[in-house]
Amino acid sequence: MNAQTAITEGHVDAPKGNYLTNGSTLASWLLTKDHKRIAIMYLISVSAFFMMGGLYAATIRLELLTPASDMVETATYNKVFTQHGILMIFFFLIPSIPAILGNFLLPLMIGAKDLALPRINLISLYIYWLGGGLTLFALMQGGVDTGWTFYTPYSTTFSNSFVMFVGLGIFINGFSSILTGLNFIVTIHTMRAPGMTWFRMPLFVWAHYATSLVMILGTPVVAITVLLLAIERATHVGIFDPSIGGDPILFQHMFWFYSHPAVYIMILPGMGVISELISNFSRKKIFGYEFIAFSSIAIAVFGFLVWGHHMFVSGQSIYAGMVFSFLTMVVAVPSAIKMFNWTATLYKGSISFDTPMLYAIGFMGLFLIGGLTGLFLGSMGLTVHLTDTYFVVAHFHYVMVGGQVIAYLGGIHYWWPKMTGRMYSEFWGKISAMLVFVGFNLTFFPQFILGYQGMPRRYAAYPEELQVLNIFSTAGASVLGIGLIMPAIYLTHSLIFGKKAEDNPWMHPGLEWRTTSPPPTENFDVMPVVTWEAYEFGEESGLDLEGAKRRDAATIA
C-alpha cells in the first residue's frame, strides 16, 4: 500500500503489505532502516560465518580421529582451531541471538515501531560486515595460529601470522556489538508501548537488557586491548611482550575483563529465548518472573567480577585466585535460580513437545551439565589438573553450543512463522532437534573423560590409548553436523513451499504475536495498549482461545 491508495481508498480495505514485500530492490534492503530487514541480513551473514566455523570444526574432529598428526600439519592445525574459535565466537555466537532474534523481536515485543536508533542499527550491520570482511581477508592471506585468545607472547613474538589484521577485524567488529547493545538499552527505556511496564516485558527483553549492559561495558575494553596488540605488532614496542619490557599478565587481565563477560553475552540471550519457549509450551505463566528477570541482571553484574578464573595457573597471585574462585561460585546462584524456575514452570504445565520445545528441554539438560562442570573448573585445586585439557573444551562447548546454539535454533524455529510468514516442517524439525541433541552429547561427553584423563587441548596428536573416545567424539560430530545442516535445508524449503503461518500459531499473549505474520514495516497498524501481565495464557489477555479450538477441531476433522 502506498500513500496514494491510502488517500483514495482509506485504510480499511487496502491490501496489506508486509516488511518483506515493502521494496524488492537491493537498495531497499541495503539502505533499509527497518529492524526486521536488518535482522534478516544478520541472519544470512551470521549463518555464513557459522558454516565456515563449522568447516573448521569438522577439520579438527577429522584430524583427531587418529592419534598421529596425519591429516593436517601441526602448524596448520594451530590455525584451524584458532580460526574455528575466532569465527564462532566473534562472528557467530556473540551476534547470533542479539543481532538476529533480538533485533527482529525486541521492538515487536515491547510494542514499538522500530528500534529507537534505526540508523545506528544499520551502521552496526555495516561495521559487522567490515570487521568480518577484514578478518576473512586475513584468513585468506594465511590466517592466525595464536588461539582465539591471542595470548602474548604467542601473538607478539612467536607468531608469523596475520595477528594485526585479525586484531583490527575484531576491533572493528566490537563496535557493531556495542552499537547494538546501546540501541537495545535505549529502546527498552523509551520505546515501550502504553501499559508495557518493566515487569510486563517478556523475559527475552530482560535478558537482552542484561546482555546489552555487558556489551557496552565490556566490549570497549577488549577493543582497546586488541588495538594495543595490533599497534604492538606493528611498532615492536613492548606493552604485552615480556622480551621488550611488556607485561603478558596485563594482556590476560585486559582480555578476560571483556572475554569472560562475553561468555554471558553468549548465554544470557539464550536464557531469554528458553524462558519464552518453556512458558509457551507449558501453557503456563512463568514461575518467579521477577527472579528470572533479576537473575539476568545479576549474571551480568557478577560476570564482570570473575575474569581471573581464566588465569588460575598463569601467574596471578594465589590470593587473587581465591577471591575469583569464590566469586565464580557466586555466579552459579543466579544461573541455578533460572534453572529451578524453568523446572517449576514445567511442573503441572500442559506440555507439548513441538520442535522449539525439544530444543528448550535439550537446553535445560545440556546447560545443567555445562554449568555444573563449570564448578569443577572454578575451584582452584581441581583446575590445576584440568586447565587446558579437553575437560575445559567440553565444558564451554556444553555452555556455548549446548546452551546458546540450541537456544538459537529453538528460537529460530519458534519465531520462524513470524519472521517469514511460513510454517516449517514439524516432522523434519523434530528429527533434526533430536539429531542435534544426540550428536552433541556424543561429541562432547567423551571429551570430559578425555580431559580428565589428561588429553591437552590444542594438540594435533595424542597418545593411542585415547583413540576410542576420540572416535566416539568424531562420530558424534558427524551426527551433529547432519543435525545442523537439516534445518538449513527444510527452513529454506519452507520459505517457498511451507504452509502459510497464522498470525499467532502458538496462541501466545505476547505483543509480537498480535500483528500479522510477517509484520508490516511499521510493526503495528494501531499502537498496542497492554492491559495484561506477561505470559497470561488465559482469556484475560484477549486471546481468542475458543476460536483457536474451533480452528484446531476443523483441521483435525
Partner 1 sequence: MSTHETSDKFVYHEPGLQHQFEDMGQQEESVSIGMWMFLVQEILFFGGLFTAYLVFRSKYPMAFAAGSNHLDAFWGGLNTLVLIVSSLTMALTVYYAQKNNRSMQVIMIVLTMFFGAAFLGVKAIEYTDKYNHGLIPVAGLNKKIKDDKTAHSTGHEKPCWEVDHNAPAVEHPNPRGEFQWTDCSLVKLAQDKNYLTESEKTGYFVKDETGAAKIDPDKFRDKVRIFFFLYFVMTGLHALHMVVGLGLMLWLLWTAFRGHYTSEYYMPVEMSGLYWHFVDIVWIFLFPLLYLLGRHFLAAH
Query: Which residues in this chain contact partner 1 in the complex, by CB under 8 A?
Result: 1-3, 6-7, 10-11, 17, 112-118, 120, 178, 181-183, 185-187, 189-191, 216-221, 223-225, 228, 231, 235-239, 244-247, 250, 253-254, 520-522, 524-527
Shortest distance, CB of residue 242 to partner 1, whole angstroms? 11
Q: Are 253 and 186 in contact (CB under 8 A)?
A: no
Q: Are 334 and 298 in contact (CB under 8 A)?
A: yes
Tell me whether residue 229 is exposed, middle or buried, using C-beta atoms within 10 angstroms of its C-beta: 0 to 12, 13 to 18, 19 or more. Answer: buried
* Closer residue to partner 1 in complex, CB, 248/269: 248
C-alpha cell at 16: 496489506
Please report how many Cα atoms fall inside a 13 Å half-sphere around the Cα of residue 548, on the Cβ side. Answer: 15
* Closer residue to partner 1 in complex, CB, 139/239: 239
* Residues 6+ away with beta carbon under 8 Å from 20: 420, 421, 518
Q: Are 157 and 241 in contact (CB under 8 A)?
A: yes
Shortest distance, CB of residue 518 to partner 1, whole angstroms? 14
Shortest distance, CB of residue 297 to partner 1, whole angstroms? 16
* Closer residue to partner 1 in complex, CB, 89/213: 213
* Closer residue to partner 1 in complex, CB, 58/120: 120
How far is 400 from 418, CA to CA, in rounded Å?
26
Q: Are 470 and 394 in contact (CB under 8 A)?
A: no
- Find the angle CA(370)-CA(371)-CA(373) to the nearest 5 degrees: 70
Shortest distance, CB of residue 523 to partner 1, whole angstroms? 9
Q: Are 329 and 378 in contact (CB under 8 A)?
A: yes
* Closer residue to partner 1 in complex, CB, 167/439: 167
Phi, psi of 197 (to 5 degrees): -75, 170
Write the DSSP symbol of residue 199: G
Shortest distance, CB of residue 7 to partner 1, whole angstroms? 7
Shortest distance, CB of residue 419 to partner 1, whole angstroms? 19
* Closer residue to partner 1 in complex, CB, 254/377: 254
| CB environment 470-497: b (16+ within 10 A), e (fewer) | bebbbbbbebbbebbebbeebbeebeee
How far is 518 from 364, CA to CA, in rounded Å?
30
* Closer residue to partner 1 in complex, CB, 111/371: 111
Shortest distance, CB of residue 114 to partner 1, whole angstroms? 4
How far is 337 from 326, CA to CA, in rounded Å?
18
* Closer residue to partner 1 in complex, CB, 3/26: 3
Shortest distance, CB of residue 98 to partner 1, whole angstroms? 15
Shortest distance, CB of residue 245 to partner 1, whole angstroms? 4
How far is 65 from 461, CA to CA, in rounded Å?
10
* Closer residue to partner 1 in complex, CB, 33/493: 33
Shortest distance, CB of residue 190 to partner 1, whole angstroms? 4
* Closer residue to partner 1 in complex, CB, 10/381: 10
How far is 38 from 5, CA to CA, in rounded Å?
27
Shortest distance, CB of residue 111 to partner 1, whole angstroms? 11
Closest to 380 (Cα-Cα) out of 334, 454, 448, 317: 317
How far is 262 from 482, CA to CA, in rounded Å?
28
How far is 186 from 196, CA to CA, in rounded Å?
15
* Closer residue to partner 1 in complex, CB, 192/418: 192
* Closer residue to partner 1 in complex, CB, 232/276: 232
Shortest distance, CB of residue 170 to partner 1, whole angstroms? 14
Q: Are 388 and 382 in contact (CB under 8 A)?
A: no
Phi, psi of 423 (to 5 degrees): -95, 140
